[in-house]
Amino acid sequence: MLTIGILDLQGNVSEHFEITTKALKNFENDSRVIKVRNSAEASCCDGIIISGGESTVIGKLLEKTGINNIIINEKIPVFGTCAGMVLSASKTDYEQPLLNLIDMEVKRNAFGRQKESFEKEIDILGYKFNGIFIRAPAVDQVGEDVHILSRLEDKIIGVKQGNNIAISFHPELTEDTRLHEYFIKEVLKCVE
């Protein structure tokens, strides 16, 4: 059974849970979505989604629960949105725990603080998507094995390395399942 976990330490957990459940209906696999609060639950997952929130707090909780070690040692694909992008990075503009899944340097709050949050139609994976940016990070630099999925003006807002995906914005706050489906396809490559 394909299991997609939603990290349940902070952020838009219920929204990711709902849209991932909806996205999985477009696949014929026997599948489920679970909330991940500890290393045992993480170990059951074929892929994990890390949503927005406060990346420093989430990073410390990942270490405290041991979920970080499960993700890294078991090479579980991760879809990081907003703070999840920061946590997926190898380097940020602030010292904090990181998963080092994608060879990139991320700047936190690259578009400004809460009051500068915005929505904008973006191009990603060859289609238009409504990007919701809330205290959003952006990628300053990427390693040579990192594929850039999307840019907004001069900022990189979507990347992929191996089966790990990171984006600056919040797809879980839309009704559009395409990015979650894209992640599920990446997870399926690992389990087939």
Annotated binding-site residues for L-glutamine read: 53-55, 108, 134-135
In Å, the largest CA–CA distance within the chain is: 44
Choice among 16, 41, 45, 82 that is catalytic: 82
By CB neighbour count within 10 A (0-12 exposed, 13-18 middle, 19+ buried), where does 32 fall?
middle
Catalytic residue among 170, 180, 181, 186: 170
Active site (annotated) includes residue 172: yes
Cα gap 85→102, rounded to integer Å: 9
Looking up tokens 């209906």 gives 25
Asked about 82 being catalytic, the answer comes back as yes
Report the DSSP beta bridge partners of residue 120: 131
Told to judge if 119 belongs to the known catalytic residues of this protein, a careful annotator would answer no
Which of the residues 41, 172, 181, 186 is marked catalytic? Answer: 172
Binding residues: 53-55, 108, 134-135
Which residue type does 153 have? E
Give me the half-sphere count of Cα atoms (radius 13 Å) on the Cβ side of residue 153.
Answer: 4
Q: Which residues are catalytic?
A: 82, 170, 172
